[in-house]
């Protein structure tokens, strides 16, 4: 199986991917979605709905070079026209693999996902530092003592 499809399957097994129109829409409305993957042979109406979901959830979307059957097989179904990656790490990894496959088509998306992943990591480090300081009774960052 292709590396990208393998990564999609791992995200599904980890519970970090929603497959199908309704779950993708719900993830976008909840603003949990980081990247929407759309099969290349999805219907025009599916592409229209994905654009709407991406706008509503402020997330990125890409048309992947796989058919509905190939994408469906990766997520454990017979067919899947769209899937939403809800973890920034998986989204960035999939974006990087797509960019390596076709830099011209997926390069910008991979860059945007990389920036988002860096911001998320920075927020996570700041939160951990804050929690450590609270446990120790230390000063708050940027605060006055």
| Assigned domain for 145 exists | no
**Ranges of the chain with pLDDT below 70:** 1, 138-145
| Assigned domain for 70 exists | yes
Residue 29: domain span: 3-136
| Assigned domain for 116 exists | yes
Number of domains in the chain: 1
Task: Quote the CA–CA distance of 102 and 66 in Å, as a whole number.
Answer: 13
* Joined tokens for residue 21: 């129109």
Structure confidence at residue 137 (pLDDT): 83
Structure confidence at residue 142 (pLDDT): 64
| Assigned domain for 142 exists | no
Structure confidence at residue 28 (pLDDT): 95
- Return the half-sphere exposure (C-beta side, CA atoms, 13 A cut-off) of residue 35: 28
Task: Quote the CA–CA distance of 2 and 91 in Å, as a whole number.
Answer: 16
Residue 21 CB contacts under 8 Å (≥ 6 apart), including other chains: 46, 49, 81, 82
Task: Quote the CA–CA distance of 23 and 4 in Å, as a whole number.
Answer: 21
| Assigned domain for 113 exists | yes
CATH of the domain at 127: 3.30.1330.30
- pTM: predicted TM-score of the whole model, two decimal places: 0.87
Look at the alpha carbons of 125, 127, 130, 131 in this order and tell me if their dihedral is positive or negative: negative
Of 96, 112, 20, 21, residue with least CA distance to 60: 112
Task: Quote the CA–CA distance of 109 and 96 in Å, as a whole number.
Answer: 9
* 3-state DSSP assignment of residue 131: helix
| Assigned domain for 25 exists | yes
Phi, psi of 93 (to 5 degrees): -60, -45
| Assigned domain for 9 exists | yes
Quick: pLDDT tens for 11-39: 999 999 999 999 999 999 999 999 999 99
């Amino acid at each position: 199986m292709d590396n990208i499809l393998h990564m999609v399957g791992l995200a599904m097994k980890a519970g970090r991917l929603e497959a199908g129109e309704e779950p993708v829409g719900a993830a976008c409305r909840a603003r949990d979605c980081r990247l929407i993957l759309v099969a290349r042979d999805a219907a025009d109406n599916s592409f229209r709905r994905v654009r709407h979901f991406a706008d509503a959830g402020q997330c990125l979307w890409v048309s992947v070079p796989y058919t509905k059957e190939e994408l469906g097989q990766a997520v454990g179904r017979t067919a899947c026209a769209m899937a939403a990656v809800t973890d920034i790490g998986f989204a960035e990894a999939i974006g990087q693999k797509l960019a390596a496959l076709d830099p011209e088509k997926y390069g910008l998306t991979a860059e945007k996902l990389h920036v988002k992943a860096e911001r998320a990591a920075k927020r996570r480090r700041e939160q951990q530092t804050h929690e450590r300081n609270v446990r120790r009774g230390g000063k708050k960052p940027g605060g006055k003592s």
